[in-house]
């Protein structure tokens, strides 16, 4: 069970001066990365630039102060853009405040009731479906600014929006397009040569210099929003009624759902990079608290940002102190440098959001999922299409409903559902991996796991957790799959990522007992080819012999 204790309080016990300076440096770099992203996301969501910075400051501070991850960086993200824009355009900014406030309380309740682990069981096709859909919507929303069309009252509906774009293609401003293309090229090319230099900041600086040096006329933040405020946000309590609560409960649940999923996915990714283990329930409480305060101070919804969290890790951040420094740096920029933000060209911000959309789309994973079982493809495409053409709230509801129904159908066909030897809870320091059997006399270099029952999304999470915590002495891992009658898309994806992880750890993978359906599913996803036919065996005895031969271990008779 996850501890309800912030990671900050745990890491400070062994905190060093050297790590403090690394955290400070990383926090400043991440703040520089977060600045243009926060502004761009706020504008794209229908809010003012200051609102994005308020969100990053407040969200970053509370998630780092109270969160369950060592390195999580929080703030506004592209995942919320669609729902935020919809709420602001239909219910006003007060409506967004109320929805975000309710979402915050929902997240806090989920954390206190120790329900953080349930969020990790969301099927992979649903997550990919709505993130890919959101990515397409974000891309579509930025076409107007990138091409300098200067269109007003652009429709919210996807098809109507693109119809307007095609009807006004003659309105393209080539000066704006030039700025946008140069910014986009910098964002694409620079990270290939130097990942530590914030590409977004360089793109903005270059685009601003181009405007002044060549006297190019393009739309800027100032021309659209006027003079920006450097004052601190003031607390605002909207008028809350029962009618408003009922009217906004759907968006609130969607915001809470997206916030929980994205923050915990970010925490899992960061765990794998630094060899740590987050506390999911505490992370939800921190995310909820951040959303409550962000809404009251006029900010947007908050969640863990994967890209900024990874940047934090790569720049040396290893404790929540880095996230707090990131927040304080943005606060300093707000009160001292805000007028300079007005010079940022809108095509540059559109280019930044194009990259955000591309990274969110995960088109390779989307393409891979199209090779999954038909039921998973249905969930994927339904969630994707509903997100793009209808409503994100509806997409999440229908996607979850379809997944539950399909899961129930699968479970009705299989009587015994269990994953043995992989059951454990978070933060159990005395957790021990149990081997499949003591029949074989194995060295410490060989580990054996067996999975019994259908390998679906719930089991997939436990499996990847167990694999990620393999000891350094492990050189060969044998996975017994004799009792797995079926795999779904999440399990296939997890297994594929596991193979890559084991390769990175220089651990040899041997698989035994694959039945027909799992073999065909893994073969279709090209996993069999990655593992190698020579590393797949019909029984454990053959796999053990191969492992011992490779390690030059003398087989001991049982």
Residue 515 lies in a domain: yes
Residue 253 lies in a domain: no
Average pLDDT, the chain: 86
**What is the band of 457 on the pLDDT scale with cuts at 50, 70, 90?**
low
**213 or 477, which is more confident:** 213
Give the pLDDT confidence score for residue 492 in this predicted structure.
85
My answer on whether 315 and 455 are in the same domain is no
End position of a domain, from candidates 363, 380, 399: 399
pLDDT of residue 264 exceeding 70: yes
End position of a domain, from candidates 361, 384, 399: 399
- What separation in angstroms does the CA of 259 have from each of 255, 461, 548? 6, 19, 47
Instruction: Compute the average pLDDT of residues 449-465.
Output: 70
Residue 423 lies in a domain: no
Instruction: Compute the average pLDDT of residues 256-274.
Output: 89
Domain that holds residue 482: 446-550
Per-residue 3-state assignment (H helix, E strand, C coil) for 509-530? EEEECCCHHHHHHHHHCCHHHH
Residue 555 lies in a domain: no
My answer on whether 308 and 453 are in the same domain is no
Residue 416 lies in a domain: no
Task: Tell me the pLDDT tens digit for each residue of 92-149.
Answer: 999 999 999 999 999 999 999 998 887 767 788 888 998 899 999 999 999 999 999 9
**309 or 489, which is more confident:** 309
pLDDT of residue 434 exceeding 60: no
Task: Tell me the pLDDT tens digit for each residue of 470-486.
Answer: 777 788 888 888 878 77
Residue 480 lies in a domain: yes
Give the CATH number, domain containing residue 535: 3.30.750.24
Helix (H/G/I), strand (E/B), else coil: 453: coil
Q: What are phi and psi of 421, to 5 degrees?
A: 70, 10
pLDDT of residue 234 exceeding 60: yes
My answer on whether 383 and 462 are in the same domain is no
Instruction: Compute the average pLDDT of residues 316-322.
Output: 96
Instruction: Compute the average pLDDT of residues 277-281.
Output: 92
My answer on whether 383 and 326 are in the same domain is yes
Task: Tell me the pLDDT tens digit for each residue of 335-387.
Answer: 998 988 999 999 999 999 999 999 988 888 899 999 888 888 988 999 999 99
pLDDT of residue 469 exceeding 80: no
Give the pLDDT confidence score for residue 433 in this predicted structure.
35
Give the pLDDT confidence score for residue 366 in this predicted structure.
92
My answer on whether 190 and 308 are in the same domain is yes
Give the pLDDT confidence score for residue 552 in this predicted structure.
61
Report DSSP letters for 388-431, one per residue. HHT-HHHHHHHHHHHHHHHHHHHHHH-S----TT----TT-TT-
pLDDT of residue 527 exceeding 80: yes
Residue 9 lies in a domain: no
Tell me the C-alpha distance between 309 and 313, whole Å. 6
My answer on whether 289 and 150 are in the same domain is yes
Number of domains, the chain: 2
pLDDT of residue 246 exceeding 50: yes
Instruction: Compute the average pLDDT of residues 313-321.
Output: 94
My answer on whether 388 and 469 are in the same domain is no
My answer on whether 173 and 304 are in the same domain is yes
Give the pLDDT confidence score for residue 30 in this predicted structure.
95
My answer on whether 460 and 357 are in the same domain is no
Residue 287 lies in a domain: yes
My answer on whether 75 and 188 are in the same domain is yes
My answer on whether 544 and 451 are in the same domain is yes
Q: What is the dihedral of CA 22, 275, 283, 50, to 10 degrees?
A: 40
Report DSSP letters for 170-232, one per residue. GG--HHHHHHHHHHHHHHHHHHHH-SSS-HHHHHHHHHHHHHHHHT----BHHHHH-SPP-SP
My answer on whether 354 and 464 are in the same domain is no
């Amino acid at each position: 069970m996850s501890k309800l204790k912030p990671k900050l309080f745990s890491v400070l016990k062994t905190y060093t001066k050297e790590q403090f300076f690394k955290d400070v440096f990383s926090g400043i770099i991440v703040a520089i990365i977060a600045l243009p992203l926060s502004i761009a996301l706020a504008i794209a969501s229908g809010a003012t630039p200051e609102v994005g910075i308020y969100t990053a400051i407040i969200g970053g501070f509370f998630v780092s102060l109270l969160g369950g991850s060592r390195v999580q960086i929080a703030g506004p993200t592209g995942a919320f853009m669609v729902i935020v824009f919809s709420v602001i355009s239909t219910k006003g900014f007060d409506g967004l405040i109320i929805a975000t406030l309710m979402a915050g309380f929902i997240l806090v309740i989920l954390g206190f009731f120790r329900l953080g682990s349930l969020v990790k069981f969301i099927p992979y096709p649903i997550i990919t479906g709505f993130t890919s859909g959101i990515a397409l919507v974000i891309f579509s929303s930025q076409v107007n600014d990138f091409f300098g069309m200067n269109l007003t009252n652009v429709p919210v509906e996807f098809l109507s929006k693109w119809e307007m774009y095609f009807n006004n293609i003659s309105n393209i401003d080539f000066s704006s397009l030039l700025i946008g293309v140069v910014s986009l090229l910098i964002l694409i090319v620079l990270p290939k040569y130097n990942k530590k230099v914030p590409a977004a900041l360089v793109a903005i600086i270059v685009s601003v210099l181009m405007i002044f040096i060549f006297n190019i006329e393009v739309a800027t933040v100032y021309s659209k929003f006027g003079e920006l405020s450097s004052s601190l946000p003031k607390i605002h309590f909207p008028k809350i009624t029962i009618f408003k609560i009922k009217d906004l409960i759907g968006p609130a649940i969607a915001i809470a759902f997206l916030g929980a999923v994205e923050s915990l996915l970010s925490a899992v990714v960061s765990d794998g990079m630094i060899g740590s283990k987050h506390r999911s329930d505490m992370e939800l409480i921190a995310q909820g608290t951040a959303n409550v305060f962000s809404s009251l101070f006029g900010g947007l919804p908050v969640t863990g940002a994967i890209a900024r969290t990874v940047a934090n890790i790569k720049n040396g951040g290893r404790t929540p102190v880095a996230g707090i420094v990131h927040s304080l740096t943005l606060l300093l920029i707000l009160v001292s440098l805000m007028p300079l933000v007005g010079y940022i060209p809108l095509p540059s911000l559109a280019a930044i959001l194009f990259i955000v959309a591309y990274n969110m789309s995960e088109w390779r994973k989307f393409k891979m999922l199209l090779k999954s079982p038909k039921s998973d493809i249905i969930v994927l495409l339904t969630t994707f299409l509903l997100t793009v053409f209808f409503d994100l709230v509806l997409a999440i509801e229908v996607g979850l409903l379809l997944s539950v129904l399909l899961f129930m159908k699968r479970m009705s066909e299989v009587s015994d559902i269990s994953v043995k030897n992989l059951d454990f809870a978070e933060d159990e320091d005395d957790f021990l991996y149990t081997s499949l059997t003591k029949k074989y006399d194995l060295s410490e270099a060989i580990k054996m796991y067996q999975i019994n029952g259908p390998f679906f999304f719930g089991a997939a999470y436990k499996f990847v957790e167990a694999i990620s915590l393999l000891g350094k002495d492990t050189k060969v891992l044998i996975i017994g799959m004799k009792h797995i009658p079926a795999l779904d898309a999440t399990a296939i994806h997890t297994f594929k990522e596991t193979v890559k992880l084991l390769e990175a750890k220089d651990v040899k993978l041997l698989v035994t007992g694959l039945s027909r359906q799992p073999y065909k599913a893994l073969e279709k996803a090209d996993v069999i080819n990655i593992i190698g036919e020579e590393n797949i065996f019909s029984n454990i005895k053959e796999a053990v012999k191969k492992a011992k031969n490779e390690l030059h271990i003398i087989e001991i008779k049982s």
